[in-house]
Amino acid sequence: MTDIMQSITERDPVEKEFHQAVDEVINSVKPVLDRHPEYRQAAVLARITEPERVILFRVPWMDDEEQVHVNRGFRVEMNSAIGPYKGGLRFHPSVNLGIMKFLAFEQVFKNALTTLAMGGGKGGSDFNPKGKSDSEMMRFCQSFMAELYRHIGPNTDVPAGDIGVGAREIGFLFGMYKKLKNEFTGVLTGKSLNWGGSLIRPEATGYGSVYFAVEMLAVKRQTLKGKTCLVSGSGNVAQYTTEKIIELGGKVLTLSDSSGYIYDEEGIDSEKLASIQKLKNIQRGRISEYADEYPNAVYTEAEPSPDYNPLWNHKADCAFPSATENEINKKDAQNLVKNGVKLVSEGANMPSTAEAVDIFLDKKLLYAPGKAANAGGVAVSGLEMAQNSMRLNWPMEEVDNRLKIIMRSIHKTCLDAAEEYGQPGNYVIGANIAGFVKVVNAMLDQGLV
Ligand code: NDP
Ligand code: 2IT
């Protein structure tokens, strides 16, 4: 173990997801530090792994039965070397400081890769949105923002959505911010269209992950047409990943939620996807209901502590993990390889364990880590900020074209950096090095702050 890794694990021993994310970056950038002694001299690793600021706060709220609850709110402002802190808010019972720090750390490099001026941050709460009424969601969001508002701003820190935070929650959060600050600014992204949102932002993460896959396939002179795809999750990222795969002639076989997954041998077409979007976004139902509507589909319930996830054990060409961290373990990676999967594009953040990543790299899959493949979401958030600053809205084609250009540029940046450091085709090394060098150079320019 490196000295820096040892000191991080000793200082915060329980933050295992943060250790995992940091360990990967440290291993990737070792040759960069060897080439640049000035980076070691300036202790860049110790500085880049310590958040600039962590805000931790109480979120009290009342349910519809007038019971009082207390949740914990977080905002990790990780790095502002290249722009205001930027990154989503996650509402999920698993949220803790270690998960917030891992997500904020990944966000720093991801945002650097987008070419836009955004630093990295992440926030959220251990609040569980499942089964809550609209009024409960509103009261929770208002209480959350009643504290967060004093720490954020359009030039300071600009939150957005993530797991459990979509258009409805961004609306409630924005409304409270506006009331408290008495100003209408682009302090959040993922806003609705008629009050400052950008076209293509809802689609951007999923579309971007598929655009990245298209770029990787193009290197091998292939396309998505006719390719079978396993997609996990059924939220924002999974839905728009599925939409774009269908549009480009691929076939999506699976979708999931935390209760289980569906396998549809005939493929999920546009009509079926529209019914999933209604089920998930409006009725807030479970993916199992898909199998009631389309009886040819098979629903498999998730096991409480599975050795492997059967979703990843089907014959297919491509995999698009789009649910959550560490959803692909070593056994799942082995199953994917065994079943002929040649491409993995990570819509989710860190969905593959370190052992799974090693297998993908060892077997020379086209493997795109989340910080490259899912950067389209935050990239279009950056475009939403730009439109807010100009007080105008770009048409759909313009935003979608810019998204394509950004994903193409991230792909090339990763390949070039990997090549420069003698690891051709290794998108993990490429993404980590390119993001790291950009942020570290900015930090050095700005002195010891
Ligand atoms: P949503 O809340 O819209 O959907 C999340 C989906 O993943 C749901 O189907 C959910 O199932 C499932 N899921 C969540 N947690 C777990 C879990 N512990 N085990 C199994 N399934 C789970 O979130 P998003 O689609 O926005 O986010 C999905 C992933 O993409 C996350 O890793 C997020 O960080 C990442 N991401 C999101 C971006 C965005 O713009 N939204 C941008 C870049 C990355 P259930 O409903 O049962 O909880
Ligand atoms: O993980 C991510 O990149 C996001 N949840 C989106 C962040 C953003 O600011 O749009």
pLDDT of residue 1: 80
Cα-based distances in Å from 119 to 102, 156, 264, 443:
15, 10, 40, 11
Dump pLDDT digits (tens) for 37-63: 999 999 999 999 999 999 999 999 999
List, chain by chain if needed, residues with CB within 6 Å of any ligand 2 atom: 86-88, 107, 110, 160, 162, 189, 349, 377-378, 381
* Tokens, residue 430: 């490429």
Percent residues over pLDDT 70 in the chain: 100
Token digits of residue 342 = 């040649």
Which three-class secondary structure state does DSSP give residue 313? coil
Distance 165 CA to ligand 1 centre (A): 9
CATH of 204-373 given 3.40.50.1170, 3.40.50.620, 3.40.50.1220, 3.40.50.720: 3.40.50.720
Query: 3-state secondary structure string, 347-401?
Result: CCCCCECHHHHHHHHHCCCEEECHHHHCHHHHHHHHHHHHHHHHCCCCCHHHHHH
**pLDDT tens digits for range 152-205:** 999 999 999 999 999 999 999 999 999 999 999 999 999 999 999 999 999 999
d(CA 4, CA 46) in angstroms, rounded, equals: 7
Q: Which two tokens stand for residue 98?
A: 């270690």
CA of 322 to the centre of ligand 1 (A): 6
Q: Which of 108, 163, 203, 277 to mutate to test the pocket of ligand 1 (most atoms within 8 A of CB)?
A: 163
Q: Cβ(62)–Cβ(86) under 8 Å?
A: no
Domain ranges (residues) in the chain: 1-50, 51-184, 204-373
Query: Is the model's pLDDT at 69 over the cut of 90?
Result: yes
What gap in Å lies between CA 147 and CA 245, rounded to an integer?
A: 40
Report CA-CA distances (Å) from 159 to 23, 88, 165, 170, 440. Answer: 26, 5, 11, 9, 23
What is the arithmetic mean of pLDDT over 247-253? 98
Dihedral sign of CA atoms 272, 213, 397, 205 in order? positive
Residue 215 burial (C-beta neighbours within 10 Å; 0-12, 13-18, 19+): buried
- Beta bridge partners, 89, equal 123
CA–CA separation, 320 vs 146, rounded Å?
37
CA angle (107 as vertex; 22, 20 as ends), nearest 5: 20
Span 92-115, average pLDDT:
98
- Spell out where 17-97 has E strands: 53-62, 68-79, 85-91
List pLDDT tens digits, range 256-309: 999 999 999 999 999 999 999 999 999 999 999 999 999 999 999 999 989 999
Q: How far is the CA of 236 from the centre of ligand 1 (A)?
A: 7
pLDDT, position 2 = 85
Is the pLDDT confidence value at 105 over 90? yes
Who lines ligand 1 at CB under 6 A?
Answer: 161-164, 166, 205, 233-238, 257-259, 322-324, 347-349, 374, 377
pLDDT (tens digit per residue) in 313-331: 999 999 999 999 999 999 9
Between the CA of 186 and the centroid of ligand 2 the distance, in Å, is 15
Distance in Å, CA 308 to ligand 1 centroid: 19
Nearest to 408 by CA among 222, 117, 214: 214
Per CATH, the number for 51-184 is 3.40.50.10860
Q: What's the mean per-residue pLDDT of the chain?
A: 98
Burial class for 326, CB neighbours closer than 10 Å (0-12, 13-18, 19+): middle
Reply yes or no on whether the pLDDT at 21 is more than 90: yes
Residue range 102-128: mean pLDDT, rounded:
98
Q: What is the DSSP string of 169-234?
A: HHHHHHHHHHHHHT-----SSS--GGGT--TTHHHHHHHHHHHHHHHHHHHTT--STT-EEEE---
Which atom of ligand 1 lies at the shortest distance from residue 160's CA?
Answer: 40
**Distances from the Cα of 53 to the Cα of 75, 78, 93, 104, 173, angstroms:** 8, 7, 23, 11, 21
In this structure, the residue with its CA closest to atom 17 of ligand 1 is 258
Ligand 1, atom 31, lies closest to the CA of 348
Q: Would you give the DSSP letter of residue 328?
A: B
Nearest to 347 by CA among 317, 378, 383, 316: 378
Checking 128-134 for CB contacts under 8 A at 24+ apart, the result is 128/91, 128/92, 128/93, 128/164, 129/91, 129/92, 129/164, 129/169, 132/63, 133/64, 134/168
Going by alpha carbons, the residue nearest to atom 10 of ligand 2 is: 378
Calculate how far, in angstroms, residue 446's C-alpha sits from the geometric centre of ligand 1.
Answer: 36
**Cα dihedral sign for 170, 172, 176, 182?**
positive
Index of the ligand 2 atom closest to the CA of residue 159: 9
User: 124 - beta bridge partners?
Assistant: 74, 90
Active site amino acids? 122
Common-topology check for domains 51-184 and 204-373: yes
What is the distance between the alpha carbons of residues 201 and 384, in angstroms, rounded to a whole number?
A: 8
pLDDT number for residue 154: 98
Ligand closest to CA 83: 2
Residue with tokens 């898909």: 290
Over residues 383-412, the pLDDT tens digits come to 999 999 999 999 999 999 999 999 999 999
In which band, very low, low, confident or very high, does the pLDDT at 310 lie, cut at 50, 70 and 90?
A: very high
Q: Report the atom number in ligand 2 closest to the C-alpha of 190.
A: 10
Q: What is the pLDDT of residue 163?
A: 98
pLDDT in tens, 346-357: 999 999 999 999
Q: Give the model's pLDDT for residue 39.
A: 98
Closest residue CA from atom 41 of ligand 1: 162
Q: Which residues contact 23 (CB under 8 A, 6 or more apart)?
A: 5, 354
pTM, two decimal places:
0.98
**Residue 85 burial (CB count, 10 A):** 29
